Amino acid sequence: MQLRSENVLAKSLSRTIYAVPNNDSRAYLNGLLLDVKDGQLTLVGTDGHRIAVAKTAATIKGDDGEFILPRKTAVDLARLVGDSDQTVTIAMSSTAVRFSFGDFALTARAIDGRFPNWRQVMRQAGDEGVVVSVAALRGVLQRVSILTESKFQGARFAVGDNGSRLLLESTNQGQEQSVDEITVSPINGHAPKDIEVGFNIHYLTEVCGAMGGENCRIDWIDSSRGFLISDPQDSTTEHLVMPMKL
């Protein structure tokens, strides 16, 4: 299998590694899934609370398949690949994988186990949602996080005023409260229904760090299905963050 350039692989890794846990009791989650299917390589990371998916076209010789790459190897690979246009060759079996590019070659053994059915969890983008500046969202998350409980990092996330205002609110055990808001834009000018839902601020902040563009699209179906977050200008990457009870 071949990818057209190192920078394509570097981008996919940077968009997904953050969602892979360091030391989960479920060993199969401690790795990044390489999913080869229909002429496409998809990288998937999840800890059960959020999922990051990055897709890229690939020249494939052989059968479709899956491989769970250990997190440490994925991190090492991300450090090695650069922004060059050199082709990346990936040789993958059921137990090992080898990445070759430029003067480098990296080999790793697979994590044994069955990765969750991420396609069943991920959903199509909906009509209810907003577009927001990544920098503005990151800023409001950082400000509100000051008064969140360090253990749970939960905050109330609300969209109102016909999809023009996003409000975040957190309260700690001392009943100290932090409230902040930013201006957002409805998707395609369609005003969404108001929504209130709890989220882990740390998870949303990490999604902001993995975004490549200036804006992000946040859409939802209802308060129980999580937020699907993507770059309006890049359909190859998506992030799903599940809600939490406050």
> Could you give the CA distance from residue 7 to residue 85 in angstroms, rounded to a whole number?
7
Q: What is the predicted pLDDT for the residue at 151?
A: 65
The amino acid at 114: R
Measured N-to-C along each axis, helices 6-16 and 201-210 cross at an angle, to the nearest 10 degrees, of: 170
Tell if the pTM clears 0.85, that is, is over it.
yes
Q: What is the predicted pLDDT for the residue at 148?
A: 74
Q: What is the predicted pLDDT for the residue at 149?
A: 63
Q: What is the predicted pLDDT for the residue at 174?
A: 66
Q: What is the predicted pLDDT for the residue at 225?
A: 82
Q: Which residues of the chain have pLDDT under 70?
A: 149-152, 174
Give the pair of three-digit tokens for residue 246.
């406050």
Residue 29 DSSP symbol: G
User: Of the candidates 15, 3, 14, which has an alpha carbon nearest to the alpha carbon of residue 86?
Assistant: 3
Q: What is the predicted pLDDT for the residue at 56?
A: 95
pLDDT tens-place string over residues 153-163: 788 899 988 77
Q: What is the predicted pLDDT for the residue at 237?
A: 95
User: To the nearest 10°, the Cα dihedral for 220, 221, 224, 229?
Assistant: -20
Contacts of 238 (CB under 8 A, 6+ apart): 52, 53, 122, 228, 229, 230
Q: Are strands 154-160 and 195-200 parallel, antiparallel or unpaired?
A: antiparallel
